[in-house]
Structure 1
């Protein structure tokens, strides 16, 4: 099977540089796959899992924000961060997830309070306008 050269580069340096059979990545517009001799293109990458296969071995990397370019018989990813799945500190990642979920819930509760305050203010303005209009008619 023909192979394509895969490069994954972060600001800290090269993470992957090898010939592979297929690459699947999280594009901003959806997941995409690239085989050898793919047509050239450029796309943005969202945070997600990039995986590639070489022979029967599949490797998974967490990637975050960046770009991918297919040119010649190579695909290059320039991303903010890339970590192999086996290198990820799972307990730390779980704590980070829990912390983020709590923060989102707090922000949502806060946003609902702001919406309630905004709606109450709008209602009060409308009632005051109606009262003023009604009083004006009575004169």
Structure 2
């Protein structure tokens, strides 16, 4: 099976780097699945979404991603995010508390709720 180089970088750190067989992301125009050899693409990520990377080692990594871009080239995939958290590193209690505090009647509160929901989904909790 073919593989591709994948880099997921947030403002504060490199989140994931390696060889992968598949990348799934949510963009502002819909979901995208990327296999090796995908057509070159540049897409804006959702403000609060999920990226899943299936590594060549058979492990999948799910990441809560907040804003940024997905860039696909013949060499691989680069994901540049404003912030990102690997599912296993997410404090579920803190994410639930943020969701409970969010005032969804305001735009800022709705955005906070969406980020908390993405974090919980990446952590495998809904």
- Bigger shift: 50-59 or 60-69? 50-59
- Partner residue in 2 for 1:15: 15
- Partner residue in 1 for 2:75: 73
More helix by share: 1
- Say if 1:64 and 1:80, in contact at 8 Å, map to a contact too: yes
Q: TM-score normalised to the size of structure 2?
A: 0.78
Q: TM-score normalised to the size of structure 1?
A: 0.71
> Which 4+ runs in 1 deviate beyond 2 A?
none
Q: 1:52-131 counterparts in 2 under 5 A?
A: 52-55=53-56, 56-100=58-102, 103-105=103-105, 107=106
Give how far 1:54 is off.
2.0
- Say if 2:6 and 2:20, in contact at 8 Å, map to a contact too: yes
Unaligned runs of 5+ in 2: 108-126
Paired residue total: 105
- Say if 2:18 and 2:55, in contact at 8 Å, map to a contact too: no
Higher relative contact order (CA 8 A, sep 6+): 2
CA distance in 1, matches of 2:16, 2:52: 11
CA distance in 2, matches of 1:97, 1:76: 29
CA distance in 2, matches of 1:26, 1:18: 20
- Say if 1:7 and 1:75, in contact at 8 Å, map to a contact too: yes
RMSD over aligned Cα atoms:
1.5
